[in-house]
Amino acid sequence: MSDRQGTPWEPASLGEFLDDPFDRLETQQQGYLLDRLDRMVRRLEDLEEELDSFMLEAPLQGR
């Protein structure tokens, strides 16, 4: 095999040609996972705020 640069129509190697779609899918999946983790963190922060306000409003018990 030669060390030439490929083009979108003529990849440098068969392996590169076969791996490219999977690399794009993996990158896309990582992006989706990061978005989902961001939403989960925001939801946990919202729950923490709700819990804090609930604890402040709750009467002191046992005193």
26-62 pLDDT, tens digit per residue, is 999 999 999 999 999 999 999 999 999 998 888 766 5
State residue 1's pLDDT score. Answer: 45
In contact, 28 and 38? CB cutoff 8 Å:
no
State residue 35's pLDDT score. Answer: 97
Q: For residue 1, how many C-alpha atoms fall within 13 Å in the half-sphere facing its CB?
A: 10
Quote the pTM value: 0.59
Q: Kindly give the residue spans of alpha helices, DSSP state H, lying in 1-63.
A: 14-57
What is d(CA 35, CA 41) in angstroms, rounded to the nearest whole number?
Answer: 10
